[in-house]
Amino acid sequence: MADACQGMPMDGYSTAGALLWQQTRSRITGPRIQQDTGMAKKKPKNVSRKKAPKAEQKLRGYYALGQKIRAACKKANPEGRPYSKGVIQGFAEKVDRSREYCDKARQFAEVYSKRDLENLCKLRNSKGNPLSTDHVRKLLRVEGGKLRRRLQVEAADNDWGSKRLAAEITKRIGKSSEKRRGPTRPKTRHDALAHIEKMSDGWLRWFDGLQEPGDEELGRQSATLEDLPKSVQQRLKRTISSIKKLLAEAEQSLNSERKKQGKRAKRKKPAKKQPKG
């Protein structure tokens, strides 16, 4: 650049010198300007916006369903009761969902105002997705609006799944005080034994997982059996031992039931007709 400016008068550049200086400056600063512009256009990593509209649409659709159910319940109950078992069952059959799913949608529209809905839909996790309808159903357990809003923000900021959110809610407010439906009674002896087998196996798998240490390299911190009080550990071990015996007896009885059912099925099979002649 110094060579290009030699011989020029001090009070100004000549026309040829000015053109030469502009070309030299363009060669020096051009690529730099383009590089800076390219850096400014980079998008943040780990943020997916493609799935967000669909997920948000699903959340708004669930709210809209709740509004329809709520309006139908009010129409069916002029005395002002917000709940109508027949109306909710009708919607459940219409949308091919459970009655509980539709009742939670009604509660969603009842508890959340339109402003609350907008604030909920604005929340995003690290992948750019909003909370799901499963999150909403867990949040409906929380009666206080301030605590509910705080929990939904924490769920989005910390990438909590619905199960983790449910655990946090239980930790802060205790077990749900809402009336729960009792378990469905088994219709047959075989059904009862199969249910015992399923629950016992679930307890044993849960206990096996409790004995495994967390993966420190991956940063997975979780409670283990050693974290529990000694008295609870001892009673839990005795309970698991009893469950193992219960599972063995239930499996033995089930196998016996299956054999009996197999023999009955063979007896009921019609004899094959032999061709005439």
Asked if residue 150 has pLDDT above 90, the reply is yes
Residues 124 and 165 in one domain: yes
Question: Which of 137, 148, 149, 146 is closest to 178 using CA atoms?
Answer: 137
Does 29 map to a domain?
A: no
Residues 253 and 148 in one domain: no
pLDDT number for residue 32 = 43
Which one is predicted more confidently, 111 or 174?
Answer: 111
Confidence of residue 61 (pLDDT cuts 50, 70, 90): very high
Residues 199 and 88 in one domain: no
Question: Which of 197, 170, 178, 172 is closest to 186 using CA atoms?
Answer: 197
Does 269 map to a domain?
A: no
Does 79 map to a domain?
A: yes
Return d(Cα 79, Cα 110) in angstroms, integer: 17
pLDDT number for residue 255 = 87
Does 178 map to a domain?
A: no
Does 230 map to a domain?
A: no
Residues 121 and 152 in one domain: yes
Q: Are 66 and 106 in contact (CB under 8 A)?
A: yes
Asked if residue 60 has pLDDT above 70, the reply is yes
Range 11-24 average pLDDT: 56
* Burial status of residue 267 (CB atoms within 10 A of its CB: 0-12, 13-18, 19 or more): exposed
Does 37 map to a domain?
A: no
For residue 117, give its domain range.
Answer: 51-173
Return d(Cα 17, Cα 105) in angstroms, integer: 76
Q: How many domains does the chain have?
A: 2
Range 86-92 average pLDDT: 88
Which one is predicted more confidently, 195 or 178?
Answer: 195
Range 65-91 average pLDDT: 82
pLDDT number for residue 59 = 92
Amino acid at 46: N
